[in-house]
Amino acid sequence: MFSADEVHEFNSEGYVVARGLASPAQCAAIRAVAERDLAAEVAPVEYEADTRYPGAPQSLDAPGGRTVRRLLQAYARDPVIAKWAVQPEMRARLEQLLGPRVELSQAHHNCVMTKNPSYSSITNWHQDIRYWSFDRPELVSVWVALGHEYFENGALMVLPGSHMLTYSPEQVDEALFLRTDVEANKPLVRTQRRIELAAGDVLFFHCRLFHAAGHNQTAETKFSLVFSYHAADNRPRAGTRSASLPDIAV
Ligand SMILES: O=C(O)CCC(=O)C(=O)O
């Protein structure tokens, strides 16, 4: 369970880290699945070229275009992953943040991020909710470090408190990334914090928290397992991508 201070931290900062929540055995088992599926390119995957992020190869056939960036549909990939996602410890913590009766969305995140050392694009400042459609913009993303995550291998950075930010349309670009050339955003971007995680640390963050990440400048792929959860009474809007796959009761 989170302490009252940790719940307060999540509510005020938009994120909280549970250190060592995944045991070394859980991490090793999940990572083994990810390494196996990455080596065999087990579908469905998202390639670097698919992301269209800055620095991504222009097409699948460009050098590095077919570098796997995400192993999609993580929940359905292997029972080891599914078990992790709906374990009682996860439910207990998520209920503290979201309220009773929590569901996992299979339509969003639900992936293992595989940030490759040779080809990895950067992810600009964004809110996860930007393309998601739910009755209320109240979801929690849960990011499990399957190895050490630090600035040089492209770890996440966050803008603390930005989940409560109201901003004008000029502050974001057409893909809803925060524009770093806009004067009003500069002080905000200076508040950035780097989130360093050890294997097994788990970052819980609000779907409106602005976050970003850089390239992987090291020699090893960075693996992170990521899911999104919502309260059962916060329904995905019919006809949208958010409603395209059944939610899983936690
Ligand atoms: O590891 C990264 O580049 C960040 C990915 C991310 O922020 C996202 O998928 O929402």
14-45 confidence digits (pLDDT tens): 999 999 999 999 999 999 999 999 999 999 99
Residue with tokens 């057409």: 174
Give the bridge partners for 226, in sequence order: 111, 143
pLDDT of residue 142: 98
Q: How many other CB atoms are found less than 10 A from the CB of residue 83?
A: 12
Per-residue CA distances from 243 to 104, 111, 143 (Å): 12, 17, 22
Task: Name the residue at shortest CA distance from atom 1 of ligand 1.
Answer: 213
Instruction: Confirm whether pTM is higher than 0.95.
Output: yes
Widest distance between CA atoms in the chain: 51
Atom of ligand 1 nearest to the CA of 120: 3
pLDDT of residue 130: 94
Pocket mutation for ligand 1, best pick of 113, 128, 223 (most atoms within 8 Å of C-beta) = 113
Cα–Cα distance, 95 to 109 (Å, whole number): 19
Number of folded domains that form the chain:
1
pLDDT of residue 55: 79
pLDDT of residue 121: 84
Calculate how far, in angstroms, residue 3's C-alpha sits from the geometric centre of ligand 1.
27
Calculate how far, in angstroms, residue 5's C-alpha sits from the geometric centre of ligand 1.
27
**CATH at 15:** 2.60.120.620
- State which residues form the domain around 52: 4-249
List of the chain residues with pLDDT < 70: none
pLDDT of residue 103: 98
